[in-house]
Amino acid sequence: MTSIDHQPHFDIPVTYNKKVQTWIKYFQGNGRRWFESRLERSYRYLPLMHRHLQKKQLPRDLAYISLIESGFSAHAVSSAAAVGYWQFIGPTAKRYGLQQTWWLDERRDFVKSTKAAANYLSDLYKIFRSWHLTAAAYNMGEGRLLKLISRHNTMDFWVLSSKKDFPKETREYIPKLIAAVLIAKMPKLYGFKNLSPMQPYSYEYVYARGGTDLKNLASHLDISHKELKRLNPSLKHGFIPSKIQGYWIRIPKGKVTQVSQYMKRVST
């Protein structure tokens, strides 16, 4: 087992072992198409995620948790009903202030869910004081991990994950994360030479009244409905119910005046 965490290129401990190598080979082989498309998508969200992680004094490389959790997708849903970019289950999302109603799911909001994830990761690190264990707890839950640490009397992820009662998914989770970080930060070295990075969104916020429908608003702004939905994935049905006073939404930069005109028109 070789550790290269001393290198300044990485800000989480990067251990290069057989399990990590296995995941690298998978991402280069059978999983290449999936990984490459998600790596291209990562460029859209990484600047935002890095900012919010740094605000909490967290390693920027923790952003790649979103890659292995959801592939940086707002619409990812797990078998355990975890949702969104950071795969929050309902109770944890609620604990960190993410609203979930019949018309709104802020687990799908790339800004709000990232802030919540940064807060959660910060809290986990205060408990475990290890980035490997912090990421493992993010995946399996802190209570379950604490029991295993107590049972086996070790804070070493690699020792702990070798135990028979350690969950298989989390056993693979850290090697998978490390493999993703290695490839993402040195893509050409691992054979990913012709990436087409997605550009970060350029947007601003407006307060939209209850009753606002994204399809009608997009038509007024002369943009596609799809583009406006991409900026506001937390609106589950593409509108704000009329009984709601209003909600802050994102619009493409430079469209504030047109939105104001639209709001005046629909309110008369």
Closest to 41 in 3D by CA, of 63, 69, 71: 71
Which residues neighbour 144 within 8 Å (Cβ) at sequence distance 6 or greater? 167
Alpha helices, DSSP H, located in the chain: 18-28, 32-55, 64-70, 90-95, 112-128, 131-140, 142-152, 157-161, 168-185, 214-221, 225-231, 256-267
Tokens 């019949």 map to which residue?
102
Which of the residues 69, 142, 169, 227 is marked catalytic? 69
Which residues neighbour 124 within 8 Å (Cβ) at sequence distance 6 or greater? 134, 137, 138, 142
The conformational region for residue 211 under phi > 0 = left, psi -120 to 50 = alpha, else beta, is left
The count of other CB atoms within 10 Å of the CB of residue 231 is 17
Tokens 């948790």 map to which residue?
65
**Is 69 tagged catalytic?**
yes
Closest to 180 in 3D by CA, of 69, 78, 68, 29: 68
Q: What are phi and psi of 39, to 5 degrees?
A: -65, -40
Q: Can you read off the two tokens belonging to residue 107?
A: 């687990």
Task: Name the 3-class secondary structure at 77.
Answer: strand
The count of other CB atoms within 10 Å of the CB of residue 244 is 16
Give the residue numbers annotated as catalytic, written as ranges: 69
